Amino acid sequence: MSDVRLISAQEFEKHFGCKPTYLSYAPGRVNLIGEHTDYNDGFVLPCAIKFGTAMTAKKNGTDKMRLLAVDIDHDTDEFVCSATFEPHESKTWSNYLRAMTSLIMQKGHKVEGLDIAITGDIPLGSGLSSSASLEVTFGNLVSQVFGLDIPLQEIALTGQACEALNGCKCGIMDQTIVACGKADNALLIDCRSLKLEQISVPSNLDILIVNSNVKHALVGGEYNERREQCENAAKILGVKALRDATMDMLDAKKGQMDEVTYRRARHVITEDDRVLEAVKAFEQGDLAKLATLMYASHCSMRDDFEITIPEIDGLVEIIREAIGENAAVRMTGGGFGGSVVAVVDPSKVEQVKAAIDAKYEALAGRKATIIETHAFNGAVFTNL
């Protein structure tokens, strides 16, 4: 045991006065390409990362979950396991667990009290899915401890429903990759059929995440507004979701929609194509092609979907300048802050780091954090 898993176990013992008997862990994720396509029934290509959330736990013989959030100043909470979701008025971290518990119980599953110590190392607000990681870690813990046998993809769907209860009408990408990731692979998710395909990430490529340290918050207007704009575009086009539309169809109806709606739809339609092309680029080990696709994705998010911010655009350009040709880099995640992802030849990593150190602070008034990762495994549960 290492890292957050070990810390969680130590903190459990300190707080609850005995050793935990279960360990659940799920990583965060980085999306390589396919942004805001998931809730349009489209395609995404994320992978799990080296950071994650750990929960150690033990049955407590009551009907209550008793929680210790190590990273939030050792904050605590407890709630009665019930099919009715009763949010805490201020402890938003606990509301994810409260919602997950009630959603699982609404399906008729019996859930009893657990003592749980939670800790994680995914930087909050970095666009690396700390909340999906929290939901899946907890959902899998409850499923395994009580023998509920909930398949990981169903835990992912429950996590998505949990986000909706907490105010974000997100898609299915984050919870699915966090649950189902495989080491050394990115996951192609068809967000309509929920079919999964593991796509090998060539071992001679590194994944670099650069956190702008401008925190993003998806629980808020902008994300849900984008989703509504997409749904509106689909309605005008007469399709179930933008997944079913082509650029020809969009151009034919251009006169029937406002300019913003047109651009939102153009992002999603072209982004779906880019995901499928990126899969080919990975399969062919074609970094130049991947670079073209990832930068086109970035420009589309910047100009058509309008979810990037100057600090993020600046980071992308700093990395492009440092690497030159073959800079496969784009913003990743929901937007409005967060992180940039780059797929790079390991020999370029030092160059990228030096360029960011030299230029980012002047542009953003803060330092960026650089994370080197590979693709990691998804959720795991262990009896201790």
| Alpha carbon distance 205, 203 (integer Å) | 5
Task: Number of residues interacting with ligand GLA: please give it, by CB under 6 A.
Answer: 12
Smallest separation, CB 99 to ligand GLA (Å) = 15
Smallest separation, CB 218 to ligand GLA (Å) = 6
Q: Given the complex with ligand GLA, which of 36 and 348 has the nearer CB atom?
A: 36
- The single residue of 38, 41, 71, 174 carrying the catalytic annotation is 174
Smallest separation, CB 165 to ligand GLA (Å) = 14
Q: Given the complex with ligand GLA, which of 113 and 159 has the nearer CB atom?
A: 159
| Alpha carbon distance 327, 131 (integer Å) | 30
The pair of structure tokens assigned to 166 is 């907490």
Per-residue binder mask for ligand GLA (CB under 6 A), 206-225, x = binder: ------------x-------
CA angle at residue 337 from 280 to 182, to 5 degrees? Answer: 40
| Binding test (CB under 6 A) with ligand GLA, winner from 334, 341, 348, 375 | 334
Smallest separation, CB 265 to ligand GLA (Å) = 15
Per-residue binder mask for ligand GLA (CB under 6 A), 99-118, x = binder: --------------------
255: Cα separation from own chain's centroid: 35
| Alpha carbon distance 327, 291 (integer Å) | 5
Residue 60, burial from CB neighbour count under 10 angstroms (0-12, 13-18, 19+): middle
Q: What are phi and psi of 30, to 5 degrees?
A: -125, 135
260: Cα separation from own chain's centroid: 26
Is 333 a residue that touches ligand GLA (CB under 6 A)? yes
The answer to whether 73 is a known catalytic residue is no
Smallest separation, CB 200 to ligand GLA (Å) = 22
Q: If you write DSSP's letter for every residue of 195-262 in order, what string do you get? A: -EEEEEPPTT-EEEEEE-S-----SSHHHHHHHHHHHHHHHHHT-SSGGG--HHHHHHTGGGS-HHHH
Smallest separation, CB 319 to ligand GLA (Å) = 20
Would you put residue 203 in left (φ > 0), alpha (ψ -120 to 50) or beta? alpha
Q: Given the complex with ligand GLA, which of 22 and 51 has the nearer CB atom?
A: 51
Q: By CB under 6 A, what part of segment 165-194 binds ligand GLA?
A: 170-171, 173-174
Nearest in space to 242 (alpha carbons), one of 330, 171, 306: 171
Sole residue written with tokens 């799990």: 48
Per-residue binder mask for ligand GLA (CB under 6 A), 19-58, x = binder: ------------x---xx-xx-------------------
- List of long-range contacts for 219-226, beta carbons under 8 Å, 24+ apart: 219/166, 219/167, 219/168, 220/167, 222/307, 222/335, 222/336, 223/168, 223/169, 223/170, 223/334, 223/335, 224/168, 224/169, 226/36, 226/264, 226/305, 226/307
Sole residue written with tokens 């929680």: 67
Smallest separation, CB 24 to ligand GLA (Å) = 21
Q: Given the complex with ligand GLA, which of 139 and 333 has the nearer CB atom?
A: 333
- The CA-atom distances, in angstroms, between 363 and each of 14, 271, 321 are 44, 28, 15
Q: Given the complex with ligand GLA, which of 8 and 176 has the nearer CB atom?
A: 176
Smallest separation, CB 35 to ligand GLA (Å) = 4
User: Which distant-in-sequence residues (6+ apart) come within 8 Å of 362 by Cβ?
Assistant: none
Q: Given the complex with ligand GLA, which of 219 and 247 has the nearer CB atom?
A: 219
| Alpha carbon distance 185, 220 (integer Å) | 32
Q: Given the complex with ligand GLA, which of 181 and 334 has the nearer CB atom?
A: 334
The residues that are catalytic are: 174
Binding site residues, ligand GLA, CB under 6 A: 31, 35-36, 38-39, 170-171, 173-174, 218, 333-334
